[in-house]
Amino acid sequence: MPAVLEFEKSLVELEDKVRQLREYSRSQGVDVSHGIGLLEDRIAETQTQLFANLTPWQRVQLARHPDRPYPKDYFQRLLTDFLELHGDRRFADDQAIIGGFAKFDGEPVMVIGSQKGRNLKENVRSNFGCANPEGYRKALRLMQLADKAKLPILSFVDTPGAYPGIGGEERHVAEAIAVNLREMFKFQVPMIIVVVGEGGSGGALGIGVGNRVLIMENAYYSVITPEGCAAILWRDASATPQAAEALKLTSADLLRLKLVDEIVPEPAGGAHREFDRAAELLGQAIRRNLQELRALSPAEWVAQRYEKFRRMGVFSEPEGIRP
């Protein structure tokens, strides 16, 4: 039974009708193609309308949709010869972030990705995609290996955030993220980041520095969860949609603020409705960006990454006052 979000309901109901009608047509041998055609037009129209007017909070819900494709689903569709590499050589193998060698279009790359589970068992293993320090340290180790082997790095981000646990504090998750941030500016390989679902604050950024940062249409990327923001600023959980709006966390907002480079379109109705098509669209975007980046030199990759993040921020600096 697929999960259905509140605002998807009208759409799903129409689709159910079409399915029933088809079944009826098949079993009874009656031609209802005209009616089906009309319904399908209405589906398309509803979908267009619904998705043109999604609120930021609805986007967040789509990004968290339980049926949404996770990084691993894209790995399966976009990569071959994936060899997962385990462990941070310090403490554990954190399954909230996975990675390893793989081939994209037959060319070797290093791939990193958050991992969420589809069921309780998987989620216990991957901690709902919330990494501990070991996840970030493993990612760093793999990226350093990619740097040595001169392999492009592809990072797929989909995490609610780093795990706020006692062990994480005891083993210094903040330091693990900080070191990643610093080291990711040093690698002499092209790096492409894709936020495919949730971009949960520092936990996402910890594997999120690259030459190109792409974001899927219905993904979000935020400094704090809308729930957290509502609790702090409004002291009221019902202000969550308001917080989602205020934080400017949607793909369109982030492109406008020049914090991401490109929005990857999703199939009509969201990536969860057509995994293959979603992967195809994502693959196209990665391919094009990788091709462009391959034309640069190692020094240029490093300089470009620096310049890109160096420009981020908005402030006022009155002319003439600066000595």
Residue numbers of the site for another protein (CB under 8 A)? 162-166, 168-175, 177-179, 181-183, 185-186, 201-202, 205-206, 208-209, 221-224, 229, 232-233, 242, 245-249, 254, 257, 259, 305-306, 309-310, 312-318, 321-323
- Closer CB to another protein, 295 or 321, in the complex: 321
Do residues 68 and 197 make contact, with C-beta atoms less than 8 angstroms apart? yes
The C-alpha atoms of residue 63 and residue 113 are separated, in whole angstroms, by 16
Residue 265 C-beta: closest distance to another protein, Å: 21
Our CA angle for 68, 126, 79, nearest 5°, is 60
DSSP code, position 265: P
- Closest contact distance (angstroms) between CB of 211 and another protein is 13
Nearest approach, Cβ of residue 61 and another protein (Å): 19
Tell the smallest beta-carbon distance from residue 75 to another protein (Å): 25
With vertex at residue 305, the alpha carbon angle to CA 302 and CA 306, rounded to the nearest 5 degrees, is: 85
Is 10 or 304 the residue whose CB approaches another protein more closely?
A: 304
Considering the complex, what minimum distance in angstroms separates the CB of residue 65 from another protein? 21
Residue with smaller CB distance to another protein, 85 or 302: 302
How far apart CA 135 and CA 153 sit, in angstroms, is 16
Contacts of 322 (CB under 8 A, 6+ apart): none
Least separation in angstroms between residue 257's CB and another protein is 6
DSSP helix/strand/coil, 274:
coil
Considering the complex, state which of residue 25 and residue 242 has its C-beta at the smaller distance from another protein. Answer: 242
- Which of residues 121 and 322 has its CB atom nearest to another protein in the complex? 322
* Cβ nearer to another protein, comparing 206 with 270: 206
Task: Confirm if 223 and 201 have CB atoms less than 8 A apart.
Answer: yes
267 close to 274: Cβ distance less than 8 angstroms: yes
